[in-house]
Amino acid sequence: MRFSNRAYDCSVIKTGFLRVYIPEAEATYSVMQLPAALGAPWRPRVGRFGLVGESLRNDALVVEHEGETFICPRRPHLRMLEGVLAFRNAFLDAGAGLVVPETTALLAAEELTRLKDREPEQRSHILTSAWFIPLRWFAAFEPAERSYDSDPPSVVLRTPVFRAIQRLQVALRILQAVDMDDSVIDELDELIEWLSGFSDHGLLELDYGSLTDMFEPWELADEDSVEHVHRSLDALRIGDWEEAGRSYQLAVEPWAHWMFLTSAN
């Protein structure tokens, strides 16, 4: 698959999402009181000063899956504060104060503490990724769990949280056995740790969100990164390095352009 040449607005950051939904029967009172999100939650809104971003309305996504209702609190303010601090921490050895001033980081940390004091069970149910889907996300799903819709174009994968954790743990063991780079191991381990904080009966959803704008419809329909990721892992497990490398390259191909630009920046 090649990267689409069709025109789109580069001023709006294209974003994919990994979300955890909790069963309605296990939702706390505060979650049950959240209003349902209006429209596509990943579509950009123009806010103050003309900046484009996600709506800061405190609401929740609600989906029906196999006859059961699941709820995902968006908690955009919480995620924004955590994102500011995580972004600064990523540059501690390279001028973090220039990226996020210390006064801003302190204010964000104080506000985050107040939020969690008011609602101790509050936590982020959503991970976001700009411009591409991290390949480790695909390891949590099977190809049969991928759903494509053409109008409007969308790609969504859903699986129970306990199955996602099992698959990620298998992937982790395979990568550890072949002495994969520590950074890859650590990222996968962090993903497992994040998921392990939720109910096993929850629902994990990978939503391509506005990343679908980067593909022609026929490209999106044929894109099969999740299958190639699993083929690469299966090949590593049996020591077939040639097939592992080939499948990995096929998994990367739809996202390679933006992975390169993100790393360069």
Distances (CA, A) of 180 to 58, 139, 171, 184, 232: 40, 15, 11, 7, 13
Predicted pLDDT at 81:
67
Contact 220, 212 (CB under 8 A): yes
Give residue-wise pLDDT tens across range 87-119.
556 555 555 555 566 777 777 777 767 766 676
Kindly state the average pLDDT of the residues 154-175.
Answer: 96
Domain locations in the chain?
A: 15-74+125-168+200-224
Q: Is the pLDDT of residue 256 over 70?
A: yes
Kindly state the average pLDDT of the residues 192-211.
Answer: 93
Q: What is the pTM of this model?
A: 0.79
Work out the mean pLDDT of the chain and round it to a whole number: 80
What whole-number distance in Å separates Cα of residue 35 and Cα of residue 37? 6
Predicted pLDDT at 225:
95
Give residue-wise pLDDT tens across range 122-137.
678 888 888 889 999 9
Q: What is the DSSP string of 167-202?
A: HHHHHHHHHHHTT--HHHHHHHHHHHHHHHTS-TT-
Q: Is the pLDDT of residue 261 over 90?
A: no
Phi, psi of 146, rounded to the nearest 5 degrees: -85, 130
Predicted pLDDT at 99:
56
